[in-house]
Amino acid sequence: MQALVKWAIAAAAAALALPATAQQPVEIDAPAGAARGTQADGLKLFKGLPYAQPPVGERRWQAPADLPRWSGVRDATQFGASCIQPARRGESIYADDVGTTSEDCLTLNVWAPENARNAPVFVWIYGGALTTGGTRFPMYDGAALAKQGLVVVSINYRVGALGYLAHPELSAESADGVSGNYGLLDQVAALRWINRNIAAFGGDPKQVTIAGESAGALSVMYLMASPSARGLFHRAIAQSAYMLSTPELRAERFGAPPAEAVGAWLQGQLKAGSLADLRAMDAQALTEAAVTAGYIPWGTIDGKILPAQLVDIFDRGEQAPVPVLAGFNEGEIRSLRILLPPKPADAAAYEAAIRKGYGDLADAALRLYPSANIEESMLATTRDAMYGWTSERLAAKQSAMGQPSFLYYFDHGTPATEAANLHAFHAMELPYMFGTIRQTAPDWPAIPDTAAETALSQAMVEYWASFAKSGRPQAKGQPAWKPYGEDQAYMHFAGAPRTAADPLPGHFELHEEVVCRRRAAGIGWTWNVGVIAPDMPPQAPGCR
């Protein structure tokens, strides 16, 4: 038995090491055009392939336009420019080199096994609060997943004001009479490109999994809800998603002003006399000024691209009927403390704030988030209201549709994360499921070079890859991952995978009740929780 364990660990280490061999040029001819990439270690890699016309000039704040077939053989050995985003400000464990930035950024990258034929396709959508991000980060390298027999695609999409600004004049220009959601439309355009072209790379357009983390997982939910994306993917992975209340195009609802009004306000902040003036502004200067003014990008409920609030769409069963893998991390907020409200002075002040905000639900809230350790309770409250509630809700709603759904809870730490009080922080699972634990950002807490860390990563790579292949996550020599519909089953990643049931009992139920009452009362949800919760509305029809 010991020999078998040692063999499994050695095999996992070898699989993740991906020893480099000399790169050779390789060409493909797709409907989009011919391209020359590189081939090494049994994989073909094509970088920087454009999937839509550059959204520049008059195309700024327009839906992405199809790109005619390019002529000649396109060089695909370098990543395309990252989309315009704010310059790095201060130190962050997440900060990595985005390289050159440009409005001409609608490109994607493809990793494919050299002999792939009708292989399942895994499409990665990066996070970054819909404000930052890119595909060139080493942590997002698709090689380990491609080694599992997938064709892996990562896509750039517009972020910030350039990606999500709604505005009355933009709506007037649109044939649908709506605006905003340009970054989401980029993702749809990339999926359409994949549908038309991926067979040339050995991929199967009828087996596409969309996957993302944080804002990328929010994007996955937007795509599940959007009629424009229907039929373009067949499975979905949402890591640390947040099903928050979303601004609507022309209505003030759930405490958020109309998205068009926000666009008009931003125009004033930027001292632009017209939409033409906004389009004439330097893209980087506009983006920086928007951040300074306080603009925050969200999707827009416009009745077309996003027909309704995500909670309503999922409650009505109108989302894409696809298998889902979803989950969250124990320490989500440990690296996102900006999301925390000020800490009360003492236990009495904490309990008073909870009783005021939660009313008849206060006893349940204090039982789950007691005053004995205020900091830990506040971290857990915001984590559960945003990420835990969303993850379990996704699993529950897809199960109710009759779709296989799988839930995970990432609860792993390393000496570096424990020393920094960052146990299982937001996004910590990424290098494990990508198989890139040696390719993290410069200030990322170090992951020890041990057999145990390698084995955990290999298990997660296999679980994620097998879900993309079959809709059911499996890993050799690891526990069987039961569907959530079987007694609220989930996979607990803490050192090694283990199965369990009903993660954090009572937490999902409390936040589901809070959200239900707030929706009925027209109050926003997920952010304003814990000690800053508004007075709890009374029990409403349909709520527990």
Active-site residue, from 214, 219, 240, 391: 214
Contact between 530 and 497 under an 8 Å Cβ cutoff? The reply is: no
Structure tokens at 313: 């769409």
Burial class (CB in 10 A: 0-12, 13-18, 19+), 512: middle
Active-site residue, from 167, 234, 412, 426: 426
**Positive/negative CA dihedral, 264, 267, 268, 269:** positive
Q: Which residue has the tokens 């989401």?
A: 184
Which strand (E) or helix (H) includes residue 210?
strand 203-213
Indicate the angle between helix axes 2-17 and 451-470, nearest 10 degrees: 70
> What CA–CA distance (Å, rounded) separates 31 from 49?
12
Contact between 180 and 165 under an 8 Å Cβ cutoff? The reply is: yes
Structure tokens at 112: 């494919």
Q: Which amino acid is present at 105? A: C
With a CB cutoff of 8 Å and minimum separation 6, the contacts of 366 are 351, 354, 355
* Alpha carbon 540 to chain centroid, angstroms: 32
User: Catalytic: 332?
Assistant: yes
3-state secondary structure of 40: strand
Active-site residue, from 103, 332, 392, 429: 332
Contact between 77 and 8 under an 8 Å Cβ cutoff? The reply is: no
3-state secondary structure of 406: strand
Residues assigned a catalytic role: 214, 332, 426
